[in-house]
Amino acid sequence: MRRLLALTGALTAVGLGGNFGPPAQPALRGDLQIHDPTILKVAGRYLAMGTGFENVDGGTLRIKTSQGGVSWSDAGTLGSAQPAWVAKQLGTQPPNLWAPTLSQRGGKVFLYYAASLFGKNTSAIGLATNAHLDPLKAADGWTDQGVVLTSRRSDPFNAIDPFRIDTRDGRAWLAFGSYWDGIKLRELDPGSGKLSARNPRLYSLASRGGGAIEAASLLEHGGFFYLFVSFDRCCAGLDSTYRMMVGRSKQITGPYIDHEGVPMMQGGGSQLQATLRRFIGPGGQEVYRDAEADWLAYHFYDGDSGGTPQLQTARLGWDAAGWPVLGALPR
């Protein structure tokens, strides 16, 4: 059995010999019902978006806001209808939009999201932009930029769960994927947010040979790129077995290996957090930056409330070998 990077709520980086152990994960409160969260800090306020509720408000993306990142309030949805191109692209209207990701470059906010049907790879990733995002009016000011990337039944990949990373060399990349051949990567044009015409290559980052892997998120830290993913069963409430895994590479395009040196393209991945107490099936994670520190936003299924998906955040710590660890879960 591979040695785990962290046993949830039990180990910290100090215990592993490092000097940068994370604090305990905060006890969040307020309206926390969200799935596949993304968080962006804008004008001193935290904005979160997540997967839409099926057949509610058009299935559009859900919005939460917070002044300090601990107490959260519901802020409705991003409109009440999906963009017209979605049904045309998929051949049908999906019950909801999935797994948004927020990022900012040069004052412009980029919002990527997925449109798909559960268990199918006839999927698309769309983009909306906002040049002057007001976190108190988070549903306003968005411009639909249409489709970025698609997958069809004949493709060996699935165009869902997007994540954009702007790297220190000025380039931008989009990670995505679920099941099938696993996690993929395409280079973006940083300004438009669409796929780069100069680099059409599709990179493969991680795979479980058709097994459950999704929710890719990338972080550049300490000379490495870290790839966070979710393994196993999502979206099953109390029966969910989601767990958060990680690997790293010297290059954003890979190869990524886990703590024991197993390539992520061969099913490798070091466990960061799994089910513990009421925190069932943690996953759908995404890295975000706050106060010069790196944080992870994720959802779990609350064992104390019938498996309702809930938001949780955790500041990343680092062990002596440069691997990420999470602090203890709140009670």
Active site amino acids: 36, 214
Where are the strands (E) in 152-292, listed by range?
163-166, 172-176, 178-180, 183-188, 203-206, 210-221, 224-231, 243-249, 270-273, 279-290
Coil, strand or helix: which one is 120? Answer: coil
What sections of the chain are H helices per DSSP?
84-90
Residue 22 exposure: Cα atoms within 13 Å on the Cβ side: 26
Using the CB atoms, write b or e for 53-83: b if 16+ within 10 Å. Answer: beeebbbbbbbbbbeebeebeebebbbeebb
What sections of 27-166 are H helices per DSSP?
84-90
Nearest by Cα to 53 from 97, 87, 102: 97
Residue 51: both structure tokens together? 């997967």
Contact (Cβ atoms closer than 8 angstroms) between residue 267 and residue 260: no
- ∠ CA 237-241-245, nearest 5°, is 130
Residue 187: both structure tokens together? 């280079």
Is 21 exposed, middle or buried, given 0-12, 13-18 or 19+ CB atoms closer than 10 A? Answer: middle
Residue 195 exposure: Cα atoms within 13 Å on the Cβ side: 17
Nearest by Cα to 34 from 330, 300, 249, 320: 300
Measure Cα distances from 50 to 27, 198, 210, 236, 245 in Å: 20, 32, 25, 17, 20
C-alpha R_g of the chain: 18
